[in-house]
Amino acid sequence: MTAAINPSSLIDYRALIEPTRVNSRLYHDPKIFEQELERIWYRSWVYVGHVSEVPNRNDYVTKSIGPTPVLLVHDRTGQISLLLNKCPHRGNQLCAYREGNRSTFTCPYHSWTFSNTGELAGYAAQILGVEQHALDHLMHFLARLGQACQALAASNENVDAKFVLEILICFDTPDCDV
């Protein structure tokens, strides 16, 4: 199923291409770029790389398809594949190096780790043996503490240890409303 094209968003390409010149708008107009991505890049096979770029198991190179960062990998099983170079958790870039050899990619934000086959291999709390409910509790606490600190900073009051202690005690009560 394809989306209906809005006639008002159509660009008259014939008016931009003349026999002796091409209008520079074709090279830098964001609407034209978006249409190229939708009509060309995202609808057909795109050459991203060659197997010779990743000759050994665990080799990788970073590439892109339009604005989308990808990893061309020769995974640990011997397959050549393409992975998004983004953590599905927060969208951070998994690999900042142009090329290398590694069996996993770890997000710098929360340390989610993915095998070079694309599977989630682990996350920091799991590696440390922390149970999910404890991690959720900690994340909730940090979010609440951050909110309290932002509110305090906005009010230009001085922070003292007693206030922070009150926040910590309040957090342990179910009806806490910092």
pLDDT tens per residue across span 87-132? 888 889 999 999 999 999 998 888 888 999 998 888 776 555 656 6
Compute the distance between CA of residue 39 and CA of residue 120 in angstroms, rounded to an integer.
32
Instruction: Tell me, yes or no, whether 105 and 151 share the same domain.
Output: no
Q: Are 102 and 122 in contact (CB under 8 A)?
A: no
The two three-digit tokens of residue 34, written as one number: 């978006």
Task: Give residue 1's pLDDT.
Answer: 46
Regarding whether 87 and 109 lie in a shared domain, the answer is: yes
Task: Return the exposure string of 8-42: e unless at least 16 CB atoms fall within 10 Å of the residue's CB, then b.
Answer: eeeeeeeeeeeeeeeeeeeeeeeebeebeeeeeee
Report if residue 46 sits inside a domain. no
Distance of CA 82 to the CA centre of its chain: 15
Find out whether 59 and 51 touch, Cβ atoms under 8 Å: no
Alpha helices in 42-131 (DSSP H): 124-127
* Same-domain pairing of 116 and 85: yes
Q: Helix 161-171 and helix 132-155: axis angle, to 10°?
A: 140
State phi, psi for 33 to the nearest 5 degrees. Answer: -60, -45
138 plus 121 within the same structural domain: no
- Cα distance between residue 76 and residue 33, in whole Å: 36
Same domain membership, residue 99 and residue 69 = yes
Shared domain check, 103 and 67? yes
Is it the case that residue 3 has pLDDT exceeding 60?
no
Answer yes or no: do 110 and 142 share one domain: no
Q: Are residues 55 and 123 in the same domain?
A: yes
The total number of structural domains that make up the chain: 3
Q: What is the pLDDT of residue 44?
A: 80
CB atoms within 10 A of CB 79: 11
Record the pTM: 0.60
Domain-embedded: residue 61: yes
For residues 66 and 86, membership in a common domain is answered with: yes
What is the edge-to-edge ordering of all strands in the sheet holding 104-106?
A: 104-106, 113-115, 120-122
Domain that holds residue 159: 132-171
Q: Provide the pLDDT for residue 117.
A: 92
113 with 140, same domain: the answer is no
Contact residues for 87 (Cβ-Cβ < 8 A; gap 6+): 93, 94, 107, 109, 110, 112, 114
**51 against 66, higher pLDDT:** 51
Q: Which of 19-28, 32-41, 120-129, 147-156 has the least mean pLDDT?
A: 147-156
Confidence of residue 135 (pLDDT cuts 50, 70, 90): low
145 band by pLDDT with thresholds 50, 70 and 90: low
Asked if residue 1 belongs to a domain, the reply is no
Confidence band of 42 (pLDDT split at 50, 70, 90): confident
